[in-house]
Amino acid sequence: MTHRVPEGARDLSVAALARVEGEGAMRIRLRDGELEEVAFSIYEPPRFFEGLLAGRRMDEPVDITARICGICPIAYQISAARAIEAACGVTIDEGPIRELRRLIYCGEWIESHALHVYLLHAPDFLGYDSAIALAKDHQEVVEQGLALRKAGTELVRVIGGRASHPVNLRLGGFYRAPSPAELAGVRPLLEAAREQALATVRLVATFDFPELEIDHAFVSLKEEGRYPIDAGRLVASTGLDAPVAAFDEHIVEEHVERSTALHARLSGHDGTFMVGPLARYALAREDLSAVARSAADEVGLPAVVTNPYQSIVVRAVETLEAVEEALAIIDAYDEPDRPAVDVPARAGTGYGASEAPRGILTHRYTIDDDGIIVDARIVPPTAQNQLAVEGDLTSFIDDHRHLDDETLRWQLEQAIRNYDPCISCATHFLDLTVERE
Amino acid sequence: MRVVGVGNTLRGDDGAGVVTADRLAELRPDLDVETCAGEVGTLLDLLDGEEPLVVIDALRSGGPAGRVRRFPDGALPPRREAGGTHDAGLGEALELAASLGRRPPSLTVIGIEGARYDLGVASLSPEVARACETLARELAGELTGASTGGLSATAE
């Protein structure tokens, strides 16, 4: 990993951040104790799919974009559907179809957060280099995470038709609406998940968190009385409050030389910004359910969390929120008369945004009168967080340059994991390059 | 017997496992065939089953495109050390499942060597597409029904 270090310099790099070489990397150079360079760079798979969408029928992105990410297909499906519906003048902000969308989204949050908290982030705090090593010593911890995750998987399966590659979502809603009895069938798992999620909040709150204070603006969606998950307006800690249709006016992307990725800035704000759990929690804490808010209070989580390492606690609180919200939706569910509303094609541009587990995921589509996509744009959360990640790495090194390389590298990797970056979207294949035959 | 194709069909040859599984499901509707994106949680669920499992995945080992290799008992060769920040692959899932005591009664991993993994490419290389078709036909003839039997564990 360490290579070609100039005399007097320390060169830390983590090339193995991603499943594919070159897709994500952190490069840090210290010379004579001074920080010379910090670069966190990723390719952004979603960008490469925009070209694939142009020229397709408007009902296709809901299926196609679901395949961009194996972890958050629902986020892609909901953002895509909402964007195309907006272009066609259709809004689904209330009623059973909206509730079902929110419910399946809760399932994805539970799955994704449980996976990240237990398999990726907890090992860092408990002193293990992987979930595999953690499982050898503390099988019960990993099992609790997997059990919690299962409630989410079951929700996604019951509503989405399949646990992986959900097939039941479409423009305007669903191909088939689940019956109240089918949803009630998930209740026992969710009730168990409530206890597991609460136990998770209590567990992760006991971790030791490396010291780091951030000063990023927070950006999230917002909807009065409901924690931001599947919809909302675009808000920020700077006072911004705008419809999602104004996304491009407020989140501005620029090219940076060293990276193929675009770097996002919050318009009118000089500093960096972040999306994701910390931002949502800071901007919508008052919209949490009583159960989730009291769990946060119980473990002493401040109203605004400024240490990104504590994102694991916020993720645990959000998991509990998703479980609570899912139970509430199931209890109030009325099967819709029709599982989808009509979405007649008309020329226009529409934006759709939702809160993927790792932050706002925005889609924009321009379609013509025949419902053919003329232009597509996808802005994933990790792209928006890139500068914030670099900022965190820089701050952390400033305060911790005395650490030896191995410890420093590990804590920096952990700092990147705070953002649950979607580096490996769409990549997973078996990599066997050291094998000799 | 359960067959799972792993991969992403929007990423060139990465979709080989999914394409093969979909084709196998066409040829043999009686089989329990599914696909997944390779997300570690889903893989762990699959590995927790009580039925023999066949996993078909794209492989990158430096061999010729379209070469098909079988790894009986899920005995994958050692892989390059690479930690994901966000997800893990089949190798990690197998290892994690083993440390949790999860193991299907039998497990065969079949790897199809890919050549190109370009993002946003919804097609396979010609060699890989041919290999998928051949493999799907082989498996269709080889696999016994949903409730019984399994796969001959012939290596390579």
ipTM value for the complex:
0.84
The arithmetic mean of pLDDT across residues A276-289, rounded, is 98
**Nearest CB partner across the interface for A429, out of B36, B44, B58:** B58
Give residue A341's pLDDT.
97
- Closest chain B residue to A136, measured at CA: B99
Residue bearing the bigger pLDDT, A150 or B81: A150
Strands (E), chain B: 2-6, 32-36, 53-60, 68-72, 107-113
Domains of chain B with bracketed CATH: 2-142 (3.40.50.1450)
CB B106: neighbour CB atoms within 10 A?
16
Report yes or no: A232 and A355 within 8 Å, Cβ to Cβ.
yes
Position B53 pLDDT exceeds 80: yes
* Alpha-carbon distance A23 to nearest alpha carbon in chain B (angstroms): 11
Residue bearing the bigger pLDDT, A145 or A131: A145
- Closest chain A residue to B61, measured at CA: A432
Cα dihedral A324, A328, A331, A336 sign? negative
Q: pLDDT, tens digit, for every residue of A374-388?
A: 999 998 888 888 889
Position A336 pLDDT exceeds 80: yes
Q: Is A246 exposed, middle or buried (0-12, 13-18, 19+ CB in 10 A)?
A: middle
The arithmetic mean of pLDDT across residues A248-268, rounded, is 80
3-class secondary structure for A73-104? HHHHHHHHHHHHHHHCCCCCCCCHHHHHHHHH
- Closest chain A residue to B55, measured at CA: A430
Name the residue with tokens 């359960």: B2
Which CATH class for the A45-385 domain? mainly alpha
Report yes or no: A79 and A202 within 8 Å, Cβ to Cβ.
no
Position A47 pLDDT exceeds 80: no
Where does the pLDDT of residue A45 fall: very low under 50, low under 70, confident under 90, or very high at 90 and above?
low
Task: Quickly list H helices, A93-233.
Answer: 96-114, 122-126, 131-137, 139-160, 180-184, 187-204
Interface check A70 vs B, CB under 8 A? yes
Q: pLDDT, tens digit, for every residue of A140-174?
A: 999 999 999 999 999 999 999 987 778 899 999 99
Give residue B108's pLDDT.
92
Give residue A393's pLDDT.
86
Contacts of A166 in chain B (CB under 8 A): none
Position A43 pLDDT exceeds 70: no
- The CA distance from B37 to A58, in Å, is 24
A403-to-A8, A36, A397, A408, A410 alpha-carbon distances in Å: 16, 16, 9, 6, 10
Report yes or no: B3 and B139 within 8 Å, Cβ to Cβ.
yes
Give residue A15's pLDDT.
37
pLDDT more than 70, % of chain A: 87
Q: pLDDT, tens digit, for every residue of A345-362?
A: 999 999 999 999 999 999
DSSP 3-state of A226: strand
**Nearest CB partner across the interface for B7, out of A149, A416, A429:** A429
Give residue A247's pLDDT.
97
Report yes or no: A201 and A296 within 8 Å, Cβ to Cβ.
yes
Residues contacting B97, CB < 8 A, separation 6+: B43, B44, B47, B48, B103
Q: Is B63 exposed, middle or buried (0-12, 13-18, 19+ CB in 10 A)?
A: middle
Which DSSP state fits B13? Answer: G
* Alpha-carbon distance B94 to nearest alpha carbon in chain A (angstroms): 10
Position A333 pLDDT exceeds 50: yes
Pick from A436, A427, A19: nearest CA to B77: A436
DSSP 3-state of B52: coil
Task: Quickly list H helices, A161-242.
Answer: 180-184, 187-204
Name the pairing type of β-strands A273-274 and A217-222. parallel
Give residue B49's pLDDT.
83
CB contact under 8 A, A428 and B38: yes
Report yes or no: A222 and A283 within 8 Å, Cβ to Cβ.
yes
Interface check A2 vs B, CB under 8 A? no
Domain ranges for chain A: 45-385
Q: Is A138 exposed, middle or buried (0-12, 13-18, 19+ CB in 10 A)?
A: middle
The arithmetic mean of pLDDT across residues A259-274, rounded, is 84
Pick from A426, A357, A340, A338: nearest CA to A59: A340
Where does the pLDDT of residue A22 fall: very low under 50, low under 70, confident under 90, or very high at 90 and above?
very low
Give residue A20's pLDDT.
33
CB contact under 8 A, B37 and A67: yes
- The CA distance from A93 to B120, in Å, is 31
Where does the pLDDT of residue B153 fall: very low under 50, low under 70, confident under 90, or very high at 90 and above?
very low
Residue bearing the bigger pLDDT, B122 or A196: A196
Where does the pLDDT of residue B149 fall: very low under 50, low under 70, confident under 90, or very high at 90 and above?
very low
Pick from A35, A42, A121, A125: nearest CA to A395: A35
DSSP annotation string for A300-336 = T--SS---GGGHHHHHHHHHHHHHHHHHHHHHH----
Position B40 pLDDT exceeds 70: yes
Residue B6 region by backbone torsions, left for phi larger than 0, else alpha for psi between -120 and 50, else beta: beta
Residue bearing the bigger pLDDT, A14 or A256: A256
DSSP 3-state of A12: strand
